[in-house]
Amino acid sequence: MRYEDSLFLVELHRRVNRRLWERMKAGYNISEDSIEEILELTGYDIVDDAEKIAPKALAQFRQEVRKRRKVRSLNDMRVRRANEGRLGSGFEKFKELLVVVDAFLHEIGDAVFEWYAEEEHQRNSRLLGTEGVGGLGLKAFMFLSLNSRACAIASEILLLTRQGYPDGAASRLRSLYENLVVMNTLSNAEQVGEFEIIERYCAWSAVEAKKERSSAGANLPRGVEVPDAQIPDLERRAMDRWGREFFKPNGWALPLFPGRRGGVQFAEIDRIAGIQDLRSVYLQGNSSIHAGPTSVLRRIDFSRWDDVFVSDPEEEDLKEARATMLNAIYLLVHSALTMHYIIAQIIGNPDIRFFANPLGVAAKHAYEAFKESENSE
């Protein structure tokens, strides 16, 4: 585009010249930095006045907005109908599985709260001497919380797959895998009656909080610091008990790697979690989470010259969608079973193991529904 054909550049030239002239008349020195500042601020002003400067361009843009609103609405309906037509039965069975897992979680949670209310020595156990719950009570509650998170993530995977967002579903499937890695690691790390690792894991929230404070502190004026009084008591107690190494990456897991100094990579925790057969799920989500080229390139399709940008829901590859949901079933059920097995031993109530029966039935129905869709292709 030529300079004289650009409304923006013509207006920018006019306004910048006027501002420079006004500053020079006022006796200000004009430096290269001040010119750059004037250019930037003037550009913002021109955008704010776009209605006056470029009414035809904005009218054309609003026409495109109306078109995209209609196109996206129609595409939303088309994708939902297509996905439901191919995998609708599986989606409904998976939804029922989520209901069963939710009931599973609440029934076992009730048993834990009843046990905790009766065990005074557990109620008196505190995390590093703070007001937080510690000991076996903390261990039970943490496994309940991890399974609750698994259920929430699985619900997101269902929603995203159903609505035609495979990248989002792959990202959340990786999160579900990571959640199970932590569960398995914590369950295998020590005997049921021990809780050192679980307390380290919970206390590591102080490290996460410290990172958040550091990020916030980076935005404070120079010379202003966050006072020590604002540093959580848990962080100081963790430092006293476990030392500075605890605050390294994934420092909660250091006892699982004897002799290790420094941080622990998540991949190392993954290797000892015992679910390496599902490692491909983790790798699959990498490109979706980290803006890998595979994920990026699928968002433009030159075979659709009338609409090349894939920026809205898409009709998923049937095999990809099915694989996502089947993996989600496995990870979700594995999480629930790990949780109930550990808690049954902690609270000394093996009868909660019976709840695994309806869970297995619901999982089987969901699995079979998705496999049937494979046979109908």
Distance of CA 249 to the CA centre of its chain: 18
Which percentage of the chain shows pLDDT scores above 90?
Answer: 50
Q: Which of 43-47, 208-212, 252-256, 365-369 has the lowest mean pLDDT?
A: 208-212
Cβ neighbors of 215 (< 8 A, separation 6 or more) are none
Residue 222 has pLDDT above 80, yes or no: no
Residue 229, pLDDT above cutoff 50: no
DSSP letter for 324, please. Answer: H
Q: What is the mean pLDDT of residues 214-242?
A: 61
| 238/214: higher pLDDT | 238
Mean per-residue pLDDT of the chain? 85
Q: What is the pLDDT of residue 261?
A: 83
What is the pLDDT at residue 354? 94
Q: pTM above 0.85?
A: no
Break the chain into its structural domains and give their ranges. 3-53, 89-204+268-375, 205-249
Confidence of residue 224 (pLDDT cuts 50, 70, 90): very low
> pLDDT by residue (tens digit) across 174-183?
999 999 999 9
Residue range 352-368, pLDDT digits in tens:
999 999 999 999 999 99
Is the CB of residue 69 less than 8 Å from the CB of residue 334? no
Close Cβ partners of 265 (under 8 Å, ≥ 6 residues apart): 249, 250
Under a CB-based contact definition with an 8 Å cutoff, are residues 198 and 138 in contact?
A: yes
Q: Which residue has better confidence, 267 or 93?
A: 93
Q: Is the pLDDT of residue 172 over 60?
A: yes
Q: For 294-332, write each residue's pLDDT tens digit.
A: 666 666 766 666 677 766 677 667 888 899 999 999 999
Please report which confidence band the pLDDT of residue 3 belongs to, taking 50, 70 and 90 as the band edges: confident
- Give the bridge partners for 133, in sequence order: 126
SS (H, E, C) 35-79: HHHHHHHHHHHHHHCHHHHCHHHHHHHHHHHHHHHHHHHHHHHHH
Is the model's pLDDT at 85 over the cut of 60?
yes
- pLDDT tier at 280, thresholds 50, 70, 90: confident
User: What's the rounded Cα separation, in Å, for the pair 34 and 20?
Assistant: 9
Q: Phi and psi (nearest 5°) for 309?
A: -90, 120
Of 213, 264, 260, 217, which is closest to residue 235 (Cα–Cα)?
A: 213
